[in-house]
Each structure stands twice: as structure tokens, then as C-alpha cells.
Structure 1
Amino acid sequence: LRICRQWIISLFIIMVTIEGQTRYSIPEELKRGSIVGNLAKDLGLVVSDLEKRKLRIASEGGKQYFGLDLRKGDLIVTDRIDREELCGNRLSCVLPLELVIDGPLQLYRVEVEIQDTNDNSPSFITKEKVLKIAELVNPGAKFPLESAQDPDVGSNSVRSYIISRNEHFKITVKTHKDGRKIPELVLEKALDREKQPIHNLILTAVDGGDPVRSGTSQITVIVLDNNDNAPQFERNVYEANVSEKATPGAEVVSVKATDIDEGLNGEIEYFFGDQTPDLVLSLFDVKPNTGVIVVKGPLDHESHPVHRFDVTAKDKGNPEMDGHCSVEIKIIDVNDNIPEIIVKSLTSPVPEDAAVGTVIALISARDLDSGDFGKVALTLFSGSPFKLNPSVSNHYSLVTSGLLDRERSGHYRVKLRASDNGRPPLSSEKILDVELSDVNDNPPVFSQPVYVVYVKENCPPGRILYSVSASDPDLGENAKMSYSILDSKVQDVSVSSYVYINSENGSIYSMHSFDYEKLKVFQILVQAKDQGSPSLSSNTTVHVFILDQNDNAPTVIYPSSAGLGSLSLQRMPRSAKAGHLVTKVTAVDADSGHNAWISYRVAEATDASLFGVNQYTGEVRTKRAVSEQDDSSQRLLIAIKDDGEPAQSATVTVSILLEDGLHEPILDIRHKAAESGGKTGRLALYLILSLASVSVLSVVTFLILAVKCVRNNSASCCVRRSDCDDYKNPNRNLQIQLNTDGPIKYVEVLGGDMMSQSQSFRSCMSPMSEYSDFTLIKPSSTSDFKEVLSVLDASLPDSTWTFESQQVS
């Protein structure tokens, strides 16, 4: 028997695929854990991917009767399935399932048909039925009996009726158009009350199942003596339609019966049949005197579109007689249900780099109304990067219609509207909240493309120089940044030897004190990198300018005191007049700007009235003519001070020896010229003309260079290396030229002959300059001068200069 039962069950479980849908058929009352079918195989899925792709059942609310075995891909029974409880007396009982699987998001429709088994026996609501029949009723009269109820359907429902053996009655079965079988008791032989006043019968209802099931009811027939005519209805079946919006008291249909008897025997009252369901009694009422059926309670086409019941007409005779008719009322649908939007599956958050067409949600729309009233159209409000793709049977997929960007909009309120085809149409709206998850698609961005930092020299190590900052519009780890300094060279040394950076906040610290005279400007290449995967980065440049401090005292270049202690001996003739150039004190300052501006003054003198020093050039000249009373040995202490704050200073002692008979070279030249003036007059004329030509040519050249400087906005002008014929001899020229390196300007000293006692200087100033500060130098030693000039700085931040020194023979 068990083997046979398993074989029968296996025959019931059949899989059918129709229009992309998978259908299984199973018998009701299967045990929990029974396998309905292998979904993985039937849907073409890989079993090993089911758990990772999160295969799940997404059926609409209500009790769930099925589950999934993801290890095997089977659809299994998880609860008791009673077809009669689920579907009542409907012939077809189908449970729809919707399966959702992620990665990519897909929807599968599966139908499970529940096959009926003969697990219910026919039964009568009334176990004992009493019929009162007059003894004068003619044979052939029919008396409707109660139908047996069997929750099973098809061949398992009631098939026939049997009456117990007797000599007066038989059973006939009348089949309604809806398939119901109604038994009728037919009188075959006239009754005789005097012989047998009561007849006890047993009515048996038999179904068509295997094995056969049955149910019984006791029928008691009481034979009456009078009132020999029963009421007769004009029609056996009354049909009517009523709107589901009909209010209580509205007339539905009127039934009418007649009785040919007179008096009380012909007066009729109308009642619901004995087996009328409680639902009908709550929705309708019948007027006893008129037979008018009216609405009593609220009607609903969606839950009960048709109501069927019997009406009995009884007279008032003794004994009373009755007649029966059937009533069928159809509830007409109206558009009284608002469409419903059902979200089957929603993926949120959605990666912001999701490709166009990525499925975000599976949505269905339904309307409980019927016909056109139940047809629903789902639309999407504009304003979001999503669109609806229709699927089968009012199902839709919400997909991306454009590129997403969480930084521009990280949250979308997707508004949907469902409308039916009613007049007027009914609609409903639903909002889906879709969040976007961050993807590391934005590199860090510095607050400035380039940073400029000014740092004073001699500041202590460990001081914070600057704090760079970068922002990243991403979130979480994708926005968490670390700062680092990319390796580069500063004077052939790694930049990490000069500074280091806090990787968390971007603060840059000095590693040691800076010396402007050694390092004026350098660059730091800073990188900001986020913690995303893969990580993104960006770079910025920090220009660090060292600001000069007055930390260097002036250094005397000439007169040199080497070999003479602290003295410098100069000779001059006693015949010198006022303004005679005795010597020139030259000093330099390794600082720059105002810190390097030098001034000279006489601090001490043997005779303060005889000598003076030019404050700016350092030229020592006689203030008056030398007299016979002046001492032959004169001593000057010259103080040299810069313009820094606080000022730095140095001193130099100049000893001057006044000698008789020592003549100035310039006087000798003039004397010789006077003597030979007459002889060389013509030659002088030629020389004058040549000098004038050269002068004109020089002026023209100067003007051309000046125009070129103005047009090119050059940092240096007037005389370049290639302009000097004597440049080929490094001991013949001294050129001081201001160069530029980005925003920093500095001076270079090129070449020079240190042994000359007579120097001439000239300069050119750029059109943008507002300063005219010059340092004229007369070096005495090539090697000493090179050492001093290694720290020379004549940087003027607001001007551009070129200095040239050439020896005049």
C-alpha cells in the first residue's frame, strides 16, 4: 500500500513550463519536507551559485507553504497544504510563487497546482429533515431535499444520492448549470395516513472518489390529512444582477409563488431555504409577504462575485404546504479598488558605478477589480536616473537609465504611480528610497594647486612650516587620506632631510634650521592618497622661500689688511687738492635687501677736517687741500654698517702717508698733453671725430638694448657675457648679474681681475625698478674675493638689476 501511495504521489508531481513559467502539480496533504521539484535544473541555474546569489521566494503576503533547499536546488513543502482551505470549491487551485535571485537580479514565476485528493466525505448540514405531506398529494409530486456538501472537487465530490428501500418514495437528482446536484424526493405511491402516518427514510450521498466516501441524513415524512395543494413558483430559478455599490434596502429581485387553495391554505409567506449559508443571510433579506429580495449588507464582487440560495414559499394551511425555487445573484463589479504597488525586491544601496540597465527593483501592480477596472498601468515620475521595463502580467523591473554619481546625489526618492482603466480612473503612488553606495572614483583635491610658504632663516628645527589640506568627496575609507612627501632633490640632498610631514593632517615640519645664504628656495612635492581600493592620489607643490635675517656683518673686501695686521697703508702727494681720491673702501654683506645695504662713515681720524668718506660709495677723498702743517702720517678708522635690524657693523683702519714730490698720474698726463698739444692738433681732431662716432654708436646700442629689455621684461639687461670682448679672459672682467629662478631673484658674480687699482662701473636698471642702490667694489685679491663673493647676495625683491665691472687701463 505504501509503495502504491508513493507511486500515485509521483504521478501527481509533474513539471510543465508554459511561456517562460514553470508549473508543478502536487497532491494536497503532502508531508513536510516533500520535494516538489528541482528548481536549479528546471530554471537552468547552477546549484553552487544559489546561496551566493541569494535565491529566495518573494511571493506576496500570506502563509508560505514552500521553502528552498539551496544546497540541492529543490523546492520543498514546509507546511500542511489543504486544497479545500486554500481554494474552496474552485476546480483549479494554483499557488503562484515568485523567485528572486541576485547578481544579476532576475525574477522567475513558478506555479504549483494543488491536486485534490478524496480526503473529505459528503455531509448534510441538517442531519434530520422533516417533511409534511398531505395524504391527498398525487403521485409524481417532487419535494426538494438538502444537498450534501463535499469540499472535494471534480470526481471526488458528490456523485449520486440513494434513498433507503420503501414503497412510496424514490430519489431523483437535478443538476444545476453550476454543477450542483440537488436531490428531490418523488412520491411514487399515494399515501394513506390511516395506514402509516409517518415514514422514516435515510438519504445517502455518495462521492466518486476511490475509495468511495458517503454521508447520510434522516428524512421523516409526516402524512397530513388536509391542505392538498402546495405553493408553486412561476420559475424554478431566478437570476438577477446587482451592483456591489448597492445600498441596504435596494431591491434585487422579486420571486412569486401561487397556491390554488383558498383561505389560509392559499396565503403564502416567503422564507430562505433551510440550507442557506450564513453569508447570504447577512447580505440579503426576503420580504415574507411579497417575496422581494433586498440588499441587507455590503456587497463585494472581489470576494464573492455570485451568491446562490433557495427560497421557500409556505402556505398557512393545516398542514402547511411549501414550494421551492433557486435564486442566483451576480454582483456587478464597480471600480472601487485602488491599484496597489507591490515591491517584490529592492536593491539598496546601489553602487554608484552601476552600469546603465542594472536592475534595481522588481515591482508588480495589481487591482482587485475585474475587467478593465482591474487593468493597471505603472508609470515613473521623471527626475531620477531610472526607468521601468515592463515584464509579464503587470510585472516591471526598475533599471538605471543613466550614470550614477553619489557625490552629486547620494539618495533618490523614486516615485511610482499605478492607475487603472476605470471611469474615473483610480490611482495610488509609492516612493522607493534608493541609496547609492560609494565607489572610490574621486581622487583627493588639494585646497590650492600650489602653496607658497615664507620661512625666516635661523628658525629652530621642528617648527611647523605649513599645513596642506586635501578633500575627497567620497565616503568612509575612500575619503580617508594620508599625506606623504615624494622624493626629490634639494642641492643634491633628498628633500626628506629638510622637512617631514604628518601623514594624518598634512602639517609640514622643518628638520633643521635654514640658512638663507646657503639655501634661498626649494620645492616640496606633497602627495595625498586615499584608502580606497584601488587608491587614488593627487599631488601639489609647496614652494618654500627662506626669508633673509640680518645675521651677517659687512665684510671688507678693499683695502685688504692681509700681511699688515689691521692697517692699510696708502700714499698721496702733499700737492693734492680738495676732492682728491685717496682710496676706496669696499665691503660686502652676505645678507640681502636692506640687510645688505652698506653705509660708510669716519669713526676716528688724525685730522677730521682733512679726509672724509662717501656714505654710499666708500670713497675716501680730501675735504681740503693739504697744507704744510698737516702731519705726514694720517690715520682713519672707517666704520661700515648695514641697514639691518639690528644693524651689523665692521671697521677698517686706513693709514695715509703724505709725501712730497709724488705727482698724480692724471696731472702728468695733462702736462704731457699740453706740451705736445700744438704738434698733434690734427691728430686730436681725428681722435675727437672717432670718439664722437663711437659715442653715437654706443648710444644707439644702448637704446636698442633698453628697448629689448622693455619688450622681453627681462630680469637682466644691458651687458651680457657675449657683449664683452674681454670676457674670454676671466681675469679681465667682473660681472654681477641678477638671475631669476621662478619667483626668487638672486645675484651671480662672474669673473673679475682682482689686481687692478683703477675700476669703472656702470649699471642698467629695468623699467620696473624703483631703486638705484649700487655697490661698487675694487678687489685686491682674486682668491680672497672669490671666497667673499661665494656668500654675496644682492637680491632686491622689487627690482631687476645687472651690474658690470670692467678694468680700464
Structure 2
Amino acid sequence: MPERLAETLVDLWTPLIILWITLPSCVYTAPMNQAHVLTTGSPLELSRQSEDMRILSRSKRGWVWNQMFVLEEFSGPEPILVGRLHTDLDPGSKKIKYILSGDGAGTIFQINDITGDIHAIKRLDREEKAEYTLTAQAVDFETNKPLEPPSEFIIKVQDINDNAPEFLNGPYHATVPEMSILGTSVTNVTATDADDPVYGNSAKLVYSILEGQPYFSIEPETAIIKTALPNMDREAKEEYLVVIQAKDMGGHSGGLSGTTTLTVTLTDVNDNPPKFAQSLYHFSVPEDVVLGTAIGRVKANDQDIGENAQSSYDIIDGDGTALFEITSDAQAQDGVIRLRKPLDFETKKSYTLKVEAANIHIDPRFSSRGPFKDTATVKIVVEDADEPPVFSSPTYLLEVHENAALNSVIGQVTARDPDITSSPIRFSIDRHTDLERQFNINADDGKITLATPLDRELSVWHNITIIATEIRNHSQISRVPVAIKVLDVNDNAPEFASEYEAFLCENGKPGQVIQTVSAMDKDDPKNGHFFLYSLLPEMVNNPNFTIKKNEDNSLSILAKHNGFNRQKQEVYLLPIVISDSGNPPLSSTSTLTIRVCGCSNDGVVQSCNVEAYVLPIGLSMGALIAILACIILLLVIVVLFVTLRRHKNEPLIIKDDEDVRENIIRYDDEGGGEEDTEAFDIATLQNPDGINGFLPHYRRGFLRGIPENAA
């Protein structure tokens, strides 16, 4: 420590001594600004000043400095002399006074106003303030009048090596991949030195590693840290602590230094294959385990971490590849063996699998080390379990005709106990699927019988569920769906598809289609419906109408002649026989009502009532309304005329002596008896034409409601 202090003092005093030696030679080298002379005062003083100005104009004057220096951190028993101010106007008569102002004047720097000596009275720190700007002026000692204009000068604080290097951002952390080659760059660190970088070597830094060899090295000037050993293995050692030093003065003796730490972490690369913890695994599983259940787990350990340790698992061989599967658990990094298909203890009691674990992310740099995978053997033992009954089929489809007899067998289901100790089975129907109890089942042999009649037209399908229960263990049950289709039989006769009503024009033509009808049948034959149409035997020779079968299974009714008359007959009834193609065929008779109507020339129906027939032909509705209005108008005129005449004549007054009862007319006629039967012909009621499309012929008087012999 004393040696370092001595070296520091030598470095400090050497430039100061040189400055002190060269100072006298510099006193008169710098030119001085022209002096300013005050022109105020008495005439004698002005004359003296003019003489002085003449003398001054003949000589060159100047300050004796350019800039001054002072060492920082100097502390001694006396103030340190910084420099001396002097002007050539000072003959040494002590009539000039020097004044100092500016940065630190009077507090840091003090001037002797007679000699011009400037002293630093305080300890200075260049890192706090590197230079001070001050103003000097020479004035008359007695009058304080300026003899020279004020001039600025600078006092620079000269640096000494009083600051050690510092690592402001430390401690540091860095990473480098494991297995890196020699000289791989890790990071770089930088130290700062508060000393003056342009003066001397106080801020010239050199870096070195104090701790961390032989793993890492550092470049002395750039502070770049590199690996010093190749192929460092993270699995052997993951973290290293490096101590770094920065020394100023170019690293020479006497310089100051600072240190920091760097923690280097080796990052993982995939340089290790997975390895199973054991070569053989044993698992056992009940035969009734649910599909997808985890049977067991296998794990291959990998010294790497993160994605470099991720492995995929596969079953590559064995006699259970179709029954089992293995999936990778990314969280636990193991393989989960699950059941894919049902097990049967009675068929096979054990299985052997060969499983493989392989790294997912392969680093090609290390592929030469061999395959990054490993294999293990898995043995799975199947344990016996009490299993429920097994039906011979997962579903059943039965068919039955709708006319099947009650208690007839329509089908059968079978089931067995798959266990070695087979138990008898009892069958039953889940009544929630057969609420109407249309079916029964034999509990011993599973035969299904019909309990109530079936009607395909009400329901084609019946879906029931059959239950099989072990007699020895009633908790072991199985269910199976049974679909029962009801087959059609020809038990419904065809009929008209709707209620038809035909209209026949009086001015129609022979052969004109009056109406087209179609039929429907509730049955559903396999080959579709085919209907036969015919007239009743007694209607075959019907003089008015005939029928024609169409290709679309429909029927057209045609008129045989023209000249139909509503006045003669308004309605015709035509019975039609419809037969299906079933075995045996069924038929029914449907009657078509045909009304005779008045139509326009283009065949549009206008009226089908008999009363409309008596209206004048050719009169429109507007003409009829006009005629009716005229009649009403005439009636109104007649009523008004009669009313006026009655007002002119005397009112008719019934005389008191007249008997009103004489106005009563008496009739003593009795009922006509048998004569009344002549009002209509009873024989016409028995005329077959009433059925064959003719109505009875009534006498004209009867149709009007008045007997022909009435008065």
C-alpha cells in the first residue's frame, strides 16, 4: 500500500513541476487585450490619463495565462497554488489590484489581489466537475477603476487514478448449449471507469478471469467470454460460476480493479436416448374391464429435459396388438396401455406385448451415437370375472302377419352364460317397451308369442327389449332390442279416395268425361295397388253413362248421349264396384252422385237448381234486377194512388146492425180418401230406374204442392 501511494504521488507531481518550470516563460507570450482607460475625473487627471494612454499604446500588454490546471483530490497543509495572474501594466508598484469572479471564485479558488496568485482552498474531484470558468480583471488599487477589460480563463481539474472499474449490470447470467465446440461465444461483459479516458491510462481496462478456468476464457480488451473446453456435458454439470476482473492502468501494477460474477448455464440438447426403467413389466386385468380403461403404465427415462426428453410409445410386436393400444402421456412422460377390444378369460388368459419408446425430437449431430429408442416386454394376465349373459345376436328382427293367431310363436332369442361355471338363463320382456302387452316370452327357451291381435294399418313396427338374467346371480343381466315387423294381409276393401260429386251439363256432348275418380286401399301389397272398376250387373246396360279405366289406376265416367234435362231429372246415382288385386281379392261399392246443371256455351257450370230452369233464357242478372226494380216501382205508385183516393172518399164504416160473422165461409168437405192417392203414382216407387240412374216421375200438380183436382 505505501508503494502504491508513492507511485500515485509521483504521477501527480510530475506534471505540476513541469507546469511550474514553464510558467515564467509563458508569462509574456500571450497577447493581452487593449486596456480600457476611464475618462472620468478632473482636467489634471484627464491629462495624466491621456499620457498614460500614449505610453500604453506604444507597448504590448497581455495576460500571462491561457488555461490553468489543478490536480484533483489534492489535500495538503496549505492551499495549492493553481497559477498567477499578471499584467504588464503592473510595474510592481502595488497600485494594481486583481479581482477574480466566476465558478468557485471565493469558495473554491482564492486570489491574492496584489500578487495575482490563485490558490485552490478546497479538495477537488474531477468526476464531480472537470473544469471551472472564471473571469479575471485588473483594477486600480485606490480607485477600483478597471485598467483592463475582464477576461475569461479556464481551470481544468487534472485526473488522477482515483476510481476503480465497476460492473454496473452485474452479476451476469448467460447460457450456452452443452456439447458446444471449443471457442463458442458465451457472452461479453463491460465495466466502466469514472476516470478520464483521454488522459493517461487511468480508464484503460484489461479483463481477466479469476475463477472459472479451465472451462471458460475471456478476451482481455473486448471482454468476450468463450468456452475453453469442448463438449461440456449438462448431465455431468449444468451450472458454472465465473469470476471476472477488470483492471485499469492497462493492467499494470498500481492500477485499480473491480470484479463481478457470471453464472453460465448449459442448456440441454438431445444427446441421450430414452431408457426403460425395467425390461419386463407385469400387469393383470379382469376380463370384464370397460373398453378404454388403462391397464398399466410403462416409462422410459431420459437424462435430457424438456422436449428433448419427450418420447412416443408404440406396440411393435406381440399377440395382443389387436386388443391393446399404448398412448403417450406428455405430462408424465410415460406410456399408458389401454384396452381396445373386449377380453375373454375363457378364450385366452394372457398376452405378451413388446413396446418401444423413441425420442420425438432427434438432434442430427448425435445420430451417429445409435438409435434414440429402447424396448421393453409387457405381460398381461386376464383374470376371470362373472360376466352377464351374452345373446346370440346384438339385435333381432322378427316378422309376423297381421292375421297371425293368438299365442302363435313369432320368433325366438337365445343367450348363454360365457363363464366356465355356466348358469341357466331366464328371459323376460321389459314391459316399459311393451305397455299394451301385445307379446309374451317363454322364460326358459326365449320363444316370443303373440298376446293380442295385430293390425298393420295401426302400427307396422313394434320395438321391445328382451332381458336375460342369470338364475344363480340375478345381478348379471343383459338386454337386447327386438324389432317386430307386422306383415300385410289383404283385409281392407278399396274405396273412393275422396267424396266425389260430378256435374253434367245439359248441353254436354256424347262421350264427354264427366268425372275422373281414383281409389285407395289401406293395405300395402308388395307389388303395389291395382284396382278393377265395374258397374253393378243391373247397370251394365245403363243408357246414360259408361266408364273407362285409365292407365294411372284411375277411372273416368263418360256421358253416353246429350240432351240431359234438369226439369226431367236433376240427380243421377251411379254405383261403381272397386276390387283390389289381393289374394283373395276384396271389393266394395261406392256411389257417385251426378248432378245435371245449366252451363254456358264453353262448359262453365252456372246453375244446378230446378227453379232456375223456369227463368227466361238469355236474361242476365242485371236484366232481372232491372225488371224487379220496375215491379217494385209500380207497386209503390199503386199504393200511393190508392192512399190518395181513400183520403178523398169517406172511410168505410161497418154498420152496427151488420153481423160480422156472416163473412165466415164454411167448408164441409172431407178428405178424399183413396182419391188422394191419385195425386202420385205409387208404382213409380218400385221402378228399378230409381236405382239405375232415374228419379220417380211426379205429377206436375204434386210437384207444385197442389192436388190436380183442387179448385
Bigger CA radius of gyration: 2
TM-score, scaled relative to structure 1: 0.36
* TM-score normalized with structure 2 length: 0.40
- Which structure has greater strand proportion? 1
